Amino acid sequence: MADSDLLSVRGLSISFRGAQRWLPAVDGLDLDLDRGQTLGLVGESGCGKSVTALSLLGLLPRKSAQVTGSIRLGGQELSQLDDDGWRGVRGRRISMIFQDPMTALNPLMTVGAQIEEVLRLHLGLSGKAARDEAASWLAKVGIPDPADRLRNHPHEMSGGMRQRVLIAMALCSRPEILLADEPTTALDVTIQAQILELLAGLQQELGMAMVFITHDLGVVERVADRIHVMYAGKAVEAGPSRQILSNPSHPYTRGLLGAVPGFRPRTGRLVAIPGRVPPAGEWPQGCRFAPRCEHAQAECTTRLPALEDVLDGTRCACLRRRELPVWTGDAA
């Protein structure tokens, strides 16, 4: 696959210092993101999707995390940057929003002061110019009475409003890429729809690209152009989101789709994937999904499959990808 001109990640591996040895969290991940596009990272807890995002911002602690591989942003290699170098990228060219806006905001500062701080740091604005710009960003993210709201502290706002403030803080420096880590998971479903609509509108207006991390397959279909389905530190399936969600190839993707209840009238039991996601340090030999896979054969427990082309631009990491039954939509 040709390298993308905006963000191109090759062979990204991340491990964390354990009591006795380094524990792998991400293992040889390749990502490409074009301008204005949204890449969805989908997977269950522990698949490595959130640490991947943190590594793209240089936010993993150097002492306890090992990051290898190449991260190229617009032709610049980021993986070798020192702290000063990262400061020029973080919040300026790549920003991030999180699941829980309360812990991402400073409880002691007004939201106005927090947005103005970003504007001062990255755009050199101060005084009235910064205040006006901060108010215009609050208006842009759909907060009524923005001039008054600048004086609020985070605890005076609802969860949905706090997420809007966080979005304003992340985008006011006009970054090229927004990393969104489960930004709507903690919100009620009617508010989630509002935030997703807001993000899509701002993305179009600002022409930014987005990496959207979620465990929710319904959400990822609404926001992403392409998706990577991740399992135990590896992408097991990658390609256009429409294609993957309507005609999944990998048994894990199929299992996830079968396990989500309530998309259509009940037809019977849910298709549960047996067992659980292996924790870091306990990844099995060979294909990491093999112990839970009904299609696994002896070879699967010894050989680790790589992503290979299947159809219509999708790639799948499964040794048996050509022999699996046709996807019917209701069984793995």
Partner 1 sequence: MSLLKVTGLEVRFPVREGILSRRHREVRAVDGVDLELEPGRTLGLVGESGCGKTTTGRALLRLVEPQAGEVLVDGTDVRKLAPTELRRFRRHMQIIFQDPYSSLDPRRTVGQSVAEGLEIHGLCPKSERSERVAQLFDRVGLSQAQIHRHPHEFSGGQRQRVGIARALAVEPKLLILDEPVSALDVSVQAQVINLLEDLQAEKGLGYLFVAHDMGVVRHVSQTIAVMYLGRIVEKGPTEEICLYPQHPYTKLLIASVPRLGDGKGIVAPARGELPSPLDPPSGCAFHPRCPMAVPACRQVRPELVGIAPGHLVACPVVSGQA
Instruction: State the residues that interact with partner 1 by CB under 8 A.
Output: 44-45, 158, 160-161, 188-194, 196-197, 200, 215-219, 221-225, 241-242, 245-246, 255-263, 265-266, 269-274, 276-277
At its nearest, how many Å lie between partner 1 and the CB of residue 15?
21
Amino acid occupying residue 174: R
At its nearest, how many Å lie between partner 1 and the CB of residue 294?
13
Amino acid occupying residue 213: I
Is the Cβ–Cβ distance between 150 and 134 less than 8 Å?
A: yes
At its nearest, how many Å lie between partner 1 and the CB of residue 38?
8
Query: How many angstroms separate the CA atoms of 29 and 13, rounded?
Result: 7
* Whole-Å CA distances, 226 to 166, 313, 314, 323: 25, 10, 9, 25
Task: Report the residue number, 222 or 320, with the smaller CB distance to partner 1.
Answer: 222
Task: Report the residue number, 132 or 282, with the smaller CB distance to partner 1.
Answer: 282
Query: Which helix (H) or strand (E) segment is 132 a member of?
Result: helix 127-140
At its nearest, how many Å lie between partner 1 and the CB of residue 206?
17
Task: Report the residue number, 306 or 331, with the smaller CB distance to partner 1.
Answer: 331
Task: Report the residue number, 59 or 200, with the smaller CB distance to partner 1.
Answer: 200
At its nearest, how many Å lie between partner 1 and the CB of residue 222?
5
At its nearest, how many Å lie between partner 1 and the CB of residue 46?
9
Task: Report the residue number, 191 or 304, with the smaller CB distance to partner 1.
Answer: 191
Query: How many angstroms separate the CA atoms of 177 and 94, rounded?
Result: 5
At its nearest, how many Å lie between partner 1 and the CB of residue 135?
20
Task: Report the residue number, 89 or 290, with the smaller CB distance to partner 1.
Answer: 290
Query: Which helix (H) or strand (E) segment is 276 a member of?
Result: none
CB-based burial, 139-163: b 16+ in 10 Å, e otherwise: ebbbbeebeebbebbbeebebbbbb
At its nearest, how many Å lie between partner 1 and the CB of residue 48?
14
The CA-based dihedral angle spanning residues 174, 207, 178, 23, taken in that order and rounded to the nearest 10 degrees:
-130
* Whole-Å CA distances, 117 to 54, 136, 148: 22, 15, 18
Start-to-end CA distance of the chain, whole Å, equals: 29
Task: Report the residue number, 160 or 305, with the smaller CB distance to partner 1.
Answer: 160
Q: C-alpha angle 22/23/26, rounded to 5°? A: 120
Task: Report the residue number, 95 or 192, with the smaller CB distance to partner 1.
Answer: 192
Query: How many angstroms separate the CA atoms of 241 and 238, rounded?
Result: 8
DSSP letter string over 169-215? HHHTT--SEEEEESTTTTS-HHHHHHHHHHHHHHHHHHT-EEEEEES
